[in-house]
Amino acid sequence: MNNDTKDIKKLIIKQTLKLDCGKTIKDFSLAYETYGTLNEKKNNAVLAFHALTGDQFITNINPITKREGWWTFAVGPGKAIDTNKYFVICANVLGGCMGTFGPKEINPETSKIFGTDFPVITIKDIVAAQKFLLDHLGIKKLLAVVGGSMGGMQVLQFVSLYPDMACSAIPIACSASHSAQNIALNELGRQAIMADPNWKKENVTPDKGLAVARMAAHITYLSKKGLQEKFGRKLQDKGSLKFSFDADFQIESYLRYQGSAFVDRFDANSYLYITRAMDYFDLENQFNGNLSNAFKNTKSKFCVISFSSDWLYPTSENKEIVIALNACGANVGFVEINSDKGHDSFLLNVPEFLKTLSEFLNSTYNEINNEKRI
């Protein structure tokens, strides 16, 4: 990747953060963006967490990649997470590669990039780092924490760490602990990167390995039906099969494109570290084998959302969260949205989903404002 992240907005965190692995970090950067305006009461802030390959540029054109932000469908003026109304905060995760402290930064001790000398981080570390940002912005209470996939894991971790800091919590298409299948798929990606001869070498990057990792992962974000409908057995060039290993089929060509476009914007070591953080995520284990304990003191109102065709974080795993919340009497709503678009549904234009998101946030916003009037 060749992203120059020098000029993007960063907070240098002076405090010490003790990581789960035992190491401590300080004076580290956290790159972030905000959208909309924080109101006088400071009660309209929404903290959005990005997924594995996302970044802080949640909407509008990403100034580094020149592409649309990853959640443009959901965030913006007049959209579900309405930036005319809410103050949206999004930070690049610890271990990321869009300006936040991560493996592509220079290690001051060796004056070389960290690479695999970077400490192993967890979802808890990722969330704790973002708490510093909230302190810096002077936000004591959030209207909502929201995120899909790994973003949803951060939502769950956030409410368990800070039970009275969010009026509402919206974990989308996620899980409270990574399943064997999730870990297996992440390991596949990591092995693809590590098998690239350029991995761990100076001045070159394991582009082939990272591209293969992305291709494999991309399949898991879609549904069989969605793939079949979009690509079927359609050929890339109109003619017939070429009897070679070129990309005969459109789906092959599509995946190759996804892989090569990804290496331009993402760091292979970040991919290793962030997938590791996801694999290590086990909220149930953090709370002595009882997930309900994670939410025991929560004051947040929850809206858990899953998608019917998501086989990566299926409805059943989202429901485990709902069950744990119910078991401790938390305030929770849950809906499974019908969609053929697989796990990626949360990033796409799925009207029923965006409507639910918009209306839930809106009702929370109205509720807290009405309460104050009384």
Contact pick of 73, 199, 302, 313 for other proteins (by CB under 8 A): 302
336 binds other proteins (CB under 8 A): yes
The reply to whether 329 sits near other proteins by the rule CB under 8 A is yes
Phi, psi at residue 144, to the nearest 5°? Answer: -160, 150
Partners of 113 in the β-ladder: 106
Contact between 349 and other proteins by CB under 8 A: the answer reads no
Q: Where are the alpha helices (DSSP H) in 112-174?
A: 123-137, 150-161
Instruction: For residue 348, count other CB atoms closer than 10 A to its CB.
Output: 15
φ/ψ (deg, to 5) at 324: -65, -40
363 binds other proteins (CB under 8 A): yes
294 is an interface residue for other proteins by CB under 8 A: no
Point out which span in 7-15, 61-69, 209-217, 335-343 binds other proteins (CB under 8 A).
Answer: 335-343
CA 250 – CA 224 distance, rounded (Å)? 15
Rounded Cα–Cα distance for residues 64 and 354 (Å):
27
SS3 161: helix
- CB of residue 332 vs other proteins: minimum separation in angstroms? 6
Q: Is 298 in the site for other proteins (CB under 8 A)?
A: no
Q: What is the dihedral of CA 42, 44, 45, 48, to 10 degrees?
A: 170
Q: DSSP secondary structure string, 179-215?
A: -HHHHHHHHHHHHHHHTSTTTT-TT---HHHHHHHHH
Does position 322 bind other proteins by CB under 8 A? yes
- Catalytic residue (choose from 82, 196, 310, 340): 310
CB of 171 to other proteins, least distance (A): 14
Confirm whether 310 is a catalytic residue. Answer: yes
Cα dihedral: 151, 261, 190, 180 (round 10):
50
Span from 73-81, 111-119, 256-264, 299-307 in contact with other proteins (CB under 8 A): 299-307
368: contact with other proteins by CB under 8 A = no
Here's the x/- map for other proteins, 151-190, by CB under 8 A: it reads as ----------------------------------------
Please tell me whether residue 335 binds other proteins under the rule CB under 8 A.
yes
Query: Which among 161, 153, 102 has a CA at the least distance from the CA of 123?
Result: 153
Q: How far is the CB of 149 from other proteins (least distance, A)?
A: 20
Q: Which two tokens stand for residue 198?
A: 């350029």
The catalytically annotated residue of 149, 160, 175, 300 is 149
343 is catalytic: yes
Catalytic residues: 149, 310, 343
Contact residues toward other proteins (CB under 8 A) are 301-303, 319, 322-323, 326-327, 329, 331-338, 352, 355-356, 359-360, 362-364, 366-367
